Structure 1
Amino acid sequence: MNTLIKNVLAVLPNGSTKKTNITIKDDKIFSIGIVPEQFNADKTIDGQGKLAIPGFVNAHTHVSMTMLRSYADDMKLMDWLENKIWPVEAKMKKDDIYWGAMLGIAEMIKTGTTTFADMYGDMDKVAEAVEETGIRAVLSRGMIGAAPNGMAALQENCTLFEEYNNGADGRITVMFGPHAPYTCPPDFLKKVIEKAQKYDAQIHIHLAETEDEVKECQTKYGKTPIALMEDVGILDCGVLAAHCVHLSDADIAIMKKYNVRVAHNPGSNLKLASGIAPVKKLLEENICVGLGTDGASSNNNLDMLEEVNLAALIHKAATLDPLAIPAAEALKMGTYYGAKAVGLADTGKIEPGMKADITLFSMQGTQWTPCYDAVSLLVYSANASMVDTVIVDGKILLDKGRLTTIDEEKVIYEANKCAEKLTGKTLKN
């Protein structure tokens, strides 16, 4: 289908904005500017009063954890995981994963996200939800190597790759997902490397999230988590590293050497009191830093604009530098850098030849007035309720705020049923 977005204010790859036309042919952006004479639009979207940005890329989440939103809050990470989250996750069945994924995908589309990188169990059900809804995803089977099902989970990741990599018309990419060094011993990680290399797949892993994790790794192995991953060989595979909060200068040098890409999760790191990642340093070393929400049980939402806003704000305070992460840089972290972080080269920019993954914000209302700088207003003033249209692969998934591929009422009903069964709690909505 050919689509014309007419008279829209677009954020261009260099960070500037321009009133222009965007044409979409099938799944790609065809042109920016004057509409080519040979282009015939099947659908025209009036872009007047709207801001077009590349769709947000959620570079790290556990989408089915929407089932545990508000279930266990205001706790320390390991207490939260061991005593609340992991026991309920152990009860999850495929239906719980599916409806949790549908709920999370609906939330992400409604808040402007077009791609997400996910790590969890029963990922075939997440892949099914991705196929049905039209969103783009980078999926990995989360593996806890120290658990009795560690090897079975690794085989599930292999099966996921065989069945779904490049699936859903190319919208699904599969990585391997060892959880973290503190749950996956080196011998297990070497088995993951062997399989990842067999499939020419990359790796999505949590690294250096907390001070305790780093101290434990140094006590047990005499190395930081980053140095241990270099020693084991994980970094040779191409790595998307979630969190990376507690890093030494030596760690950063290793990450630069191996082109490790970071998924920075400011909201989750703040809520769990994990700390503030040295993002300014990472960017200064030309290390790719995208943004993620983490799971909805530790954030508690999947709103990428909120992460963009937090990334722009907290690093100013952490470094006492108001120029640490400017608005335009924060937006790139949530879009183009995020796409690079999850290994996608053909999305994240509004440019001819790129995938047509575009989000339109309505610029009507007090928070957009006066409009001296649209990118600044988006990052510091707007909110995700202003998302009007979401396009993925050239298909409209959100039209004037209405989901086109998801029955939102049914998803909420089914998700609540699953949540009550899992937790034994009577829900209030």
Structure 2
Amino acid sequence: MAIVIRDAEVITMDVRTGSTPVTRSIRIEDGVVAELGATVRVQDGDTVVNGRDRLVCPGFVNAHTHSWEYLAKGRYDNLPLELWMLYSYPILGGKPLPPDLVRLRSLLFAVESVRSGVTTLVDDVLETPSQDFAQLDAVFDAYDAVGVRANISGHVINRPFIDTVPYAAEWLPSDVVDQVRATPLLSAADYLDFSQEAFRRYAGRADGRLRYMLAPSGPQRCTDDLLAGATELALAHDAECHVHVLETKTQAVTGREFYGTTLVEHLRRIGALSANTTLAHGIWTTDSDIATLAEYDVCVSHNPVSNLKLGSGIAPWRRYHDAGVTLGLGSDGCSSSDTPRLPEVLKAAALLHKVTEPDHTAWSTADEVLRAATLGGARSARLHTDIGSLEPGKKADLLVYDLNTLAFTPRNRLDLQLVYSENGSSLRQVMVGGEIVVDDGRVTTVDEEALLAELRDRLPGIQAEQDRVESRNTVFHEAFERMYRTCAAEDVGVHRWSGPPGAS
């Protein structure tokens, strides 16, 4: 049985019409767009949906997020990344989260995501102090239940955290330094073996809707053999290799201090760049870095809301576009942006880059933003042959908006209103692989109220543990504050942010 959506306004994001809405009908068979045109076949037994007064577009791809931060939503403010990480990614005292709580956390994250129009998640999952298969199984199980599409990582840091930033270790008490450096860490071989098993374990999960990806945390946080090995393994499995690079000015200083060059150039030298590589953030890149990323066909996931909240800086949007670097859009984690909802990210991306230069012809456009939220994210996730646009042969991952709402009143340019006016309140249906996972604002696959009730019951214990861990990690704050201010005042030859007093 097929589903036919008749006479809707459709944003296809294909090469012909892009983000310009056109009146089209869509025939969906076996989870795939079978036909799309002015007219399509209708057969006995088909479910026919009246598309008049509806806008249909590809589902959004959240090209960089961390579901594991969901339980820390709304806990922190006015902390730059390196200080915020002391509490959200604790160096000391973290206890393994039980798989049932990982599953609950992931279910709630997926529910909030799909309700806002996200049909694909690039979820960079990290567990403290380390990840095991029981925890990773719980994430896959949750996403399978909700029906979302996802790349799900084993995130790894295999250097002592105090040795991933410059200066700080020399300003900490020696007993604290010794304790951190004595913490067991995975070797490159351990991580690559884990990832090989993950590829085997999750192959074909949910008919290919769920995939494992590699996620070495960053070039300053992982050994060279792990970075190069992860790149090679990703190519072997045509999987995404997801790496945090040049998110902050501190990381620009780190590259110079650790390697005598930029972090992008270091990755190139060790063989850790490929068409399967996605850089999360990529704010403090030089012109030479951008040329290198274009040469290797590397994608960048842009996270404007998180970058603003953490004061990290503004990514060079126009320079990336001019160089031909593919951009996706990400929400980042729920502790650094406090939401997994991508409509807020689209609007932020469309607005932020209008204040970076006076030449209005170089400002970000709604078409570019929608392209990043769909095709760009699909390309970065290595899913571009399956999703990102509405075309015959691609998966039926799509959104249906009601045009009889205030957000679309009066009806002018629907693509602009989708970016600037709509916040998710007009979203009526969300489809993933032809299956309706949201209908009239309600998730159809799981019991949202039961999930919320379970979290309410468990929250006092969760928050008590968060308080304990945060208190233990205040020992690092003074040294990291000094390190942050020292780096902020240094000249790295790139200006992406004014910074605190004394910063260049």
Partner of 1:259: 297
> Do structure 1's residue 164 and structure 2's residue 202 form an aligned pair?
yes
Q: What secondary structure sits across from 1:298 in the alignment? A: coil
CA separation of 1:99/1:316 partners in 2, compared to 1, >3 Å: closer, same or farther? same
Do the aligned partners of 1:92 and 1:422 also contact (CA within 8 Å) in 2? no
More off after superposition, 239-248 vs 172-181: 172-181
What does 1:70-109 correspond to in 2, within 5 Å? 70-86=74-90, 90-109=95-114
Q: Choose the corresponding residue for 2:425, options 385, 388, 401.
A: 385
Find the partner of 2:151 among 131, 138, 144.
138
Residues 172/88 of structure 1: CA separation in 2 closer, same or farther (3 Å cut) = farther
In structure 2, the partner of 1:396 is 436
In structure 1, the partner of 2:137 is 124
The alpha-carbon deviation at position 350 of structure 1 amounts to 1.3
Q: Distance in 2 between matches of 1:142 and 1:80?
A: 18
| Matching of residue 175 in structure 1 with residue 213 in structure 2 | yes
- Conserved 8 A contact 1:114-1:392: yes
User: What is the Cα deviation at residue 97 of structure 1?
Assistant: 1.8
Equivalent of 1:420, from 425, 449, 460? 460
Structure 1 residues 373 and 272, CA gap change in structure 2 (3 angstroms): same
* Partners of 1:196 and 1:237 within 8 A in 2: no
Q: In the superposition, relative to structure 1, how do residues 49 and 38 fare at CA in structure 2: closer, same or farther (>3 Å)?
A: closer
What does residue 58 of structure 2 align with?
A: 54
Preserved contact between residue 275 and residue 298 of structure 2 (Cα < 8 Å):
no
Q: Which amino acid aligns with 1:226?
A: V
Residue 366 of structure 1 corresponds to 406
> Structure 2: how far apart are the matches of 1:330 and 1:312?
6
In structure 2, the residue matched to 1:272 is 310
- Aligned position for 1:150: 186
Identical aligned residues as a percent: 32
- Matched residue SS, 2:356: helix
Matched, 1:299 2:323: no
**Deviations, residues 45-72 of structure 1 (Å, cap 9, x unaligned):** 3322221110000001111311110122
Aligned to 1:44: 48
Q: Does 1:111 align with 2:101?
A: no
Q: Aligned partner of 1:240: which letter? A: T
Deviation at 1:194? Answer: 5.1
Q: Secondary structure at the match of 1:378?
A: helix
CA shift for structure 1 position 416: 3.5
1:333 to 349, 356, 372: 372
Output the amino acid matched with 1:65.
E
Bigger proportion of residues as strand: 1
CA RMSD of aligned residues (A): 2.1
C-alpha distance in 1, partners of 2:449/2:307? 31
Aligned mates of 2:70, 2:426 — CA distance in 1: 22
Q: For the Cα contact (< 8 Å) 2:69–2:88, is it kept in 1?
A: no
2:36 matches 1:32: yes
Aligned mate of 1:308, from 334, 343, 346: 346
Q: Which runs of no fewer than 5 residues in structure 2 stay unpaired?
A: 127-134, 161-183, 468-504
Q: Number of residue pairs matched?
A: 427
How far is the alpha carbon of 1:27 from its aligned partner?
A: 1.1
Note if contact 1:141-1:177 (Cα within 8 Å) is conserved in structure 2: yes
For 1:126 and 1:120, the matched residues in 2 are separated by 9
Partner Cα separation in structure 1 for residue 244 and residue 38 of structure 2: 45
Query: In the aligned structure 2, how far is the partner of 1:154 from the partner of 1:418?
Result: 35
CA contact (8 A) 1:57 1:338 kept: yes
Could you say what secondary structure the match of 2:345 adopts? helix
Partner of 1:5: 5
Asked if the contact 2:256/2:262 (under 8 Å) is kept, the reply is: yes
CA displacement 1:195-251 (0-9 Å, x = unmatched): 445545431111110010110121111121111111111103620111001110110
Residues 103 and 415 in structure 1, CA contact (< 8 A), matched pair in contact too: no
| Counterparts of 2:313 and 2:466, CA distance in 1 | 34
Query: Aligned partner of 2:106: which letter?
Result: A
Q: 1:277 to 1:388 in 2, by over 3 A?
A: same
Counterpart residue identity of residue 373, structure 1 = R
The C-alpha deviation readout for 1:377-428, integer Å capped at 9, x for no partner, is 111111112211000000000111111102101221233444432321799x
| Cα distance in 2 between the residues matched to 1:137 and 1:160 | 14
Residue type matched to 1:308 in 2? L
Match of 1:69 in 2: 73
Moved more, 240-249 or 325-334: 325-334
Q: 1:88 touches 1:422 (CA, 8 Å); kept in 2?
A: no
How far, CA to CA, are the matches of 1:3 and 1:418 in structure 2? Answer: 41
Contact in 2 for aligned 1:65/1:296 (Cα 8 Å): yes
The letter of the residue matching 1:73 is D
Q: How far has the Cα of 1:305 moved from its partner?
A: 1.0
Amino acid at match of 1:256: A
* Per-residue deviation, 1:263: 0.6
Q: 1:94 to 1:384 in 2, by over 3 A?
A: same
TM-score (normalised: structure 2): 0.80
Q: Distance in 2 between matches of 1:274 and 1:266?
A: 9
Say which SS state the counterpart of residue 56 (structure 2) adopts.
Answer: strand
Conserved? CA contact 2:119–2:149, under 8 Å: yes
Name the CA distance, whole Å, in 2 between partners of 1:89 and 1:291: 30
Contact 2:25 2:40 in 1 (8 A): no
Offset, 1:100: 1.2
Report the CA distance shift for 1:75/1:416 in structure 2 as closer, same or farther (over 3 A): farther
Q: Return closer, same or farther for 1:130/1:426 CA change in 2, 3 Å cut-off.
A: closer
Tell me, in whole angstroms, the C-alpha distance in 2 between the residues paired with 1:219 and 1:126.
37
